[in-house]
Structure 1
C-alpha cells in the first residue's frame, strides 16, 4: 500500500493527528505541526515551570479557555514549600484567566474527564507522563516536558513525528477478580517497557465491554509500556459517559468514523484471550517484573495502598469493598486508601463503600497523587514491603530506596491487606460466594 496517498487507509491515531494537522491523511514518520485542542498541567509541572518562559517572552496563554490546571501533587500542603507552590498555582490561574482550575478536588487525569473536558478526536497535551489516560476517549493525548508545555500553552501548537500503531486485541470475558490492571501488567511483561515512537490501540470484545474508567487504565499505562500514547476508539460507552456529565458528543457519527480502517497498516497486531488471564503482580522494582498472583511465594506485606489516577477510581473502591466487606485488615498491616477524586469519595460514601472499607480497618487519605508520586502520607521506610494499585514501582518512588513495592489490581491489594501477604484474590472472592 502506498502510505503517501491522501486516500490511504489510516489507523485511529493517524486520523486524529491528521485532523489536528489540517491534513486529509498522514503516514508514520512524517513530521508535522499539530494544533492543540486542550492542554493541561498540575501543580508540580505547570505554572511554576511556565511562568518564567511566558514572562520572558512577554506573552500569555494562547487560549485560556483551552487550558486547565489541577492541583493534585502537593495537596494538602504538608510544609511551607508545598504551600508556596500551591499559592503560585492559584495566583497564576487568576492572572492568566484559567477558568478550568480544579483546586484540591482530585487527580488531573480523572478530574478532567469527570468534567467532560476530554473529547473524542481531540489532540491533547499534558504536563504529566500519564496524560495518555485521556486516550480512552479516542483522543491523541501525550505528555510533554516543561519547556515543550510552555511553548504549547503560549502558541497552541506543537510538532510531532507521526507514530506507528501497535494494535492489541483482547477477546473473551474476565474471570472474577481479573480486571484491566491485570491486562496492563501482563502487557508490561509481554511487550516490555521500550516501545518508543509508536502508539498502542486497544480493541476487541473485552475492551468493548469495559466501562470508561477501566478503559482509562489501559490508556494510562501505555506510559509504562513506553508508547507515545494509548487509545481506544470512541463508541456508545464513550458517548454515554460524557452525556452523563452534561458534555454530550454533538457529532457521534464523526466520532465513530475515527475507528481504524479495516485495511490500515499496523506495526504489529497482538491477540489475547481475557478468559485465560489470571491476576497479575509486578514485583520490585519494575512494572514488567510480572508473575501471576498464584505463582508467587510467601510475600508478607507491611502496607497495602489503594490510590493514584489508575487505581483509586470509584470502580476500584468497589472492588476493594467486595473483598473487604465483613473482613478485617490483618494485624500489622496498614491499608491506606486515597480516592482519586473528591467526587469518587462522595459517591463511595453514598453507596456505603467507604463505611465497608473503614470498618475493615482502612485509613482514608485525601484525594491526590500522594504516595504514588512519593509525596504526602503513606511513604515507606527502609525494608518495608507494600502492595499498591498504582502504576509504577521503581526503586524509591514511594519512599525509601530500600523499600519494596509490588503492583496489583485493587482486588489483589485488598486481598493482601486481609491475608497479610500477597495472595490470589480469586480465593477470597470464591470464599465469599460459598458463604453466600
Structure 2
C-alpha cells in the first residue's frame, strides 16, 4: 500500500513505516514558541526538571503577538523569554523582527521534509514548503524541548486537486477561503490536507504560505502543498505521495471559476462571493498577519492604491510580516506608495490580527482584513465585525470606503 506525504515524513522521523491512525514516537527537527505560549512552555520545561534543551540550534523564540509590549505584565513575560534564550543559547527574535511563521521560513529554520512543532496554531504554514508542521500546546512543546521527540497519531489525509488559471484579481487567499467555505471549520479535524494541481504548481512561495496557513481554519492537523513547481534558494528533496496512496477524501476544484471570496462575520467558513457583500461600509482596513503580510501582498495593495488616496472615513493599517519584508517594500517603493495613499505602517507582528493592541476597532465598526480569523472579538472588540479577504480586497475597500470587487482594478468584471 502506498503512502501519503504525511505518512512518508512521519515514517522518516519514526524510523519505521507508518500509516494513517498509527501511534508512534518521532524525532523533531525544530521547535518554536511565541510570546503567547513561550512563558508557559518555559515554566512547564522547568517543572519537568529541564536544565538544558535537547539541542540549542533547533529552537527559536519569537516576540511577535504583543510587540512592542503594550503593558508591564507582558513586558515581564518578554523579559522571561530573553533571559531563557540567553541562558539556553537559543535564537530569539525580538520586537519588530517579524511574525514567527514568516521568520521560520525566511531564516530556513523550517525546511522541506522536516517535522516541526510550534506552540501556535498557524504552525501548519510550513507545509507551504513540504514540511509536516503542526501546532501543539505549551506542555507538549516543553516535552519536545527536553527530549527532542514527541508522539504522533498519524493523520488521515484529504487530497484537494486545484487546477486551472486564476481570474485577474483573484489570489491564493481567494483559493483557500473557497476551500474553507467548502469544508467548514471542523470538516478536516485532525486530518492532513494535501494540495496539488496546476494552480498550486504555479503559485509563488508567498501564495503557498497563504494557503498552508489557513489549513487550521478547517481543523486540520497539517496542510501540505505538493512541492512540484516550488522554487527555493536551497536544494531540497521533493517528497511526493505514492500513486496508490490511500486518501480519506478527494476533492476537485476548478480554479477558473473562483471569484474574490469573503468570509463574513463571525467565522472563517462563512464564505461568500464578493458579489454578495458589496457596498457594505468599511471603517478600518488591515493588511498583515502570517497569512497575508508578505511582499506579494503589499504589491497587490500598491497596485490598486498607487496614485490614489484612501477614503477619508477609513483607517488603513499595514503590518509587514517581517523586517525583511518591510525593507524590500521600502527598497522597491511600495512603502512610499502605500504611505502616500494614506496607509499607516505598524511594527512587524501579530498585534491587530489577535487584538492584543495596534488596531482594535470601535463598537459597530467594520474591518476589511487580510488575516485568517474573524471570530467575534478576534481583533479585540466583540462589538465589531470583520470581513476576511485578500490584500486586493482590503485595498479596494480602503479606497472606496466600502466592500468593492478588486477585479475592477485588474481589467476584470
Indicate whether the TM-score tops 0.5: yes
Q: CA RMSD in A?
A: 1.3
For 1:21-170, list aligned pairs within 5 A.
21-23=14-16, 25-46=17-38, 48-59=39-50, 60-98=52-90, 100-104=91-95, 105-170=97-162
Structure 1 match to 2:174: 182
Alignment deviations for residues 145-177 of structure 1 (CA, whole Å, 9 cap, x no partner):
111111111111111111111011111111111
Alignment deviations for residues 48-78 of structure 1 (CA, whole Å, 9 cap, x no partner):
1122223233322111111111111121122
Q: Which moved more, 1:405-414 or 1:289-298?
A: 289-298
Structure 2 match to 1:3: none
Name the CA distance, whole Å, in 2 between partners of 1:302 and 1:51: 40
Structure 2 match to 1:395: 376
Question: What's the secondary structure of 1:309's corresponding residue?
Answer: helix
Name the CA distance, whole Å, in 2 between partners of 1:264 and 1:49: 39
Deviation at 1:295, TM superposition (A): 2.0
Question: What's the secondary structure of 2:290's corresponding residue?
Answer: coil
Alignment deviations for residues 5-25 of structure 1 (CA, whole Å, 9 cap, x no partner):
xxx2101111001111111x2
Name the CA distance, whole Å, in 1 between partners of 2:65 and 2:189: 27
Q: Is the 8 A contact 1:72 1:368 kept in 2?
A: yes
Structure 1 match to 2:339: 358
Structure 1 match to 2:359: 378
Q: Which runs of 4+ in 1 moved over 2 A?
A: 50-58, 233-237, 428-431
Name the CA distance, whole Å, in 2 between partners of 1:28 and 1:50: 29
Alignment deviations for residues 80-125 of structure 1 (CA, whole Å, 9 cap, x no partner):
1222111111111001110x22212000100111111211111100
Structure 2 match to 1:5: none
Name the CA distance, whole Å, in 1 between partners of 2:82 and 2:210: 29
Structure 2 match to 1:231: 224
Question: What's the secondary structure of 2:279's corresponding residue?
Answer: coil
**2:402 is equivalent to residue 411 of structure 1:** no
Q: Is the 8 A contact 2:45 2:145 kept in 1?
A: no
* TM-score normalised by structure 2 residue count: 0.97
Q: Is the 8 A contact 1:121 1:138 kept in 2?
A: yes
Structure 2 match to 1:284: 265
**2:306 is equivalent to residue 313 of structure 1:** no
Alignment deviations for residues 233-270 of structure 1 (CA, whole Å, 9 cap, x no partner):
33452xx42x2xxxx23xx4xx22x2011111111111
Name the CA distance, whole Å, in 1 between partners of 2:260 and 2:44: 46
Name the CA distance, whole Å, in 1 between partners of 2:163 and 2:404: 26
Query: Where do 5+ consecutive residues of structure 1 fail to align?
Result: 1-7
Query: Where do 5+ consecutive residues of structure 2 fail to align?
Result: none
Name the CA distance, whole Å, in 2 between partners of 1:69 and 1:58: 20
Name the CA distance, whole Å, in 2 between partners of 1:359 and 1:227: 40
Structure 1 match to 2:280: 299
Q: Is the 8 A contact 1:192 1:288 kept in 2?
A: yes
**2:8 is equivalent to residue 15 of structure 1:** yes
Deviation at 1:375, TM superposition (A): 1.4
| Aligned residues between the structures | 410
Q: Is the 8 A contact 1:121 1:140 kept in 2?
A: yes
* TM-score normalised by structure 1 residue count: 0.92
Structure 2 match to 1:348: 329
